[in-house]
């Protein structure tokens, strides 16, 4: 999952980004003003937008309205210092999905972010199941037939993304776009490495195949 944080307080953006990376396993980009934020949100397929309201150049509410007007349907979580009813109503009516009031709790922000991403992918339960595989998105653990399986951070990201879209064909490009933040060099062959790692850990010794490769199109996760 890839998240964009639009927040002009660099220190706050860094803390939220670190938390989302470490505790949710997301790829995180940061924009420090509204103009950059809108451009990045429109040119990359983010799974979640964390948006501050008081921003230089373009303020958060305008950014949100423009994003929604342009057809962007990324879930948006707003960070606001104003928690009066009117401004919250205005926010939600402008297309925001949820908000946290400053000074917020990082744990709450994480939980709301995960919930919004889940909902954005059409799921409600925090635990995803594919065959005998259980992916717990709240503590980032994976079980195979009840047994804990240890995955690398990138393997987990690939698995979680595929598990959110079971039965769908997911291209390598889509995976790259959703699993890496802006600063990473992207090589499509690393995806193959993660998929083979996942196959080894989750399919070995089993008759059912989980990761199906469609040549030239991408991958399908299906039990």
Partner 1 sequence: MAKTSIQRRLIAAIVISQLVLAIGLIDVAVFVTRAQMRRAFDVALQGRAMSIAALIRYSEDESHKLLFERDLAPPPLERNVPDLYEVVANNRKLIARSPSWPQDYDVLPARGDRWIATYVVNGIPYRAIRLEHVPVLDREGDTPTTDFLTVTYASPATSVMEAVSEVLRYIAIGSVVLLAISGGFSLWALRRSLRPLSELADNARTISPSNWELNPPEEARDTLELEPLTQAMTSMLDGLHRAFMQQREFLANAAHELKTPVAILKSTLQSLLQRPRTSDEYRAGLEEALDDMARLEKLLHSMLRLARAEQWAAGNLQRDLAPIDVGMTCQLAIERLHSVAQQRSVNIDFAANDAMRLRADPDDLELVWSNLLENAIRFSPEGATVQMSMRTNNGNGYVEVADKGPGITPSELPRIFERFHRADSSRARDSGGYGLGLAISKALIEAYGGTIEPHSSPGEGTRMVVSLPV
- Residue 15 CB, shortest distance to partner 1, in Å, is 4
Is residue 18 near partner 1 by the rule CB under 8 A?
yes
Helix (H, G, I), strand (E, B) or coil at 192: helix
Which residues are within 8 A (CB) of 36 and not within 5 positions of it... i.e. 6 or more apart?
6
Of 78 and 79, CB closest to partner 1: 79
- Residue 173 CB, shortest distance to partner 1, in Å, is 31
| Span from 11-19, 133-141, 142-150, 189-197 in contact with partner 1 (CB under 8 A) | 11-19
Handedness of CA 49, 33, 177, 73 (dihedral sign): positive
Of 101 and 176, CB closest to partner 1: 101
Is residue 143 near partner 1 by the rule CB under 8 A?
no
The secondary structure element, H or E, covering residue 147 is: strand 147-149
Of 36 and 178, CB closest to partner 1: 36
- Contact pattern from residue 23 through residue 62 relative to partner 1, giving x for each residue in contact according to CB under 8 A and a dash for the rest: x--------xx--------------------x-xx-----
Buried b (16+ CB within 10 A) or exposed e, 46-82: bbbbbbbbbbeebebbebbebbeeeebebbbbbbbee
Is residue 139 near partner 1 by the rule CB under 8 A?
no
Contact (CB, 8 A) for 112 and 129? no
The one among 19, 62, 87, 171 contacting partner 1 by CB under 8 A: 19
How many residues touch partner 1 under the rule CB under 8 A: the total is 26
**Cis link prior to 103 (omega < 30° from 0)?**
yes
Give phi and psi for 164, each to the nearest 5. -70, -20
The secondary structure element, H or E, covering residue 208 is: none
Binding site for partner 1 (CB under 8 A): 8-12, 15-16, 18-19, 22-23, 32-33, 54, 56-57, 79, 81-82, 101-107
């Amino acid at each position: 999952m890839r998240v964009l944080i639009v927040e002009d307080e660099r220190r706050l953006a860094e803390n939220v980004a670190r938390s989302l990376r470490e505790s949710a396993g997301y790829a995180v980009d940061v924009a420090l003003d509204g103009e950059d934020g809108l451009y990045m949100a429109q040119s990359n397929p983010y799974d979640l937008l964390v948006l501050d309201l008081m921003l230089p150049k373009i303020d958060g509410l305008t950014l949100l309205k423009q994003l929604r007007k342009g057809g962007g349907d990324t879930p948006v979580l707003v960070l606001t210092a104003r928690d009066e009813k009117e401004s919250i109503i205005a926010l939600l009516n402008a297309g925001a999905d949820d908000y946290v009031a400053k000074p917020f709790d990082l744990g709450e922000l994480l939980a709301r972010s995960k919930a919004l991403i889940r909902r954005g992918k059409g799921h409600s339960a925090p635990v995803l199941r594919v065959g005998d595989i259980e992916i717990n998105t709240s503590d980032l653990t994976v079980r195979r037939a009840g047994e804990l399986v240890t995955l690398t951070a990138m393997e987990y990201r690939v698995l979680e993304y595929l598990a959110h879209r079971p039965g769908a064909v997911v291209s390598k490009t889509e995976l790259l776009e959703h699993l890496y933040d802006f600063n990473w060099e992207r090589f499509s062959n690393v995806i193959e490495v993660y998929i083979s790692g996942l196959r080894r850990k989750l399919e070995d010794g089993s008759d059912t195949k989980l990761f199906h490769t469609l040549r030239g199109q991408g991958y399908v996760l299906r039990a």
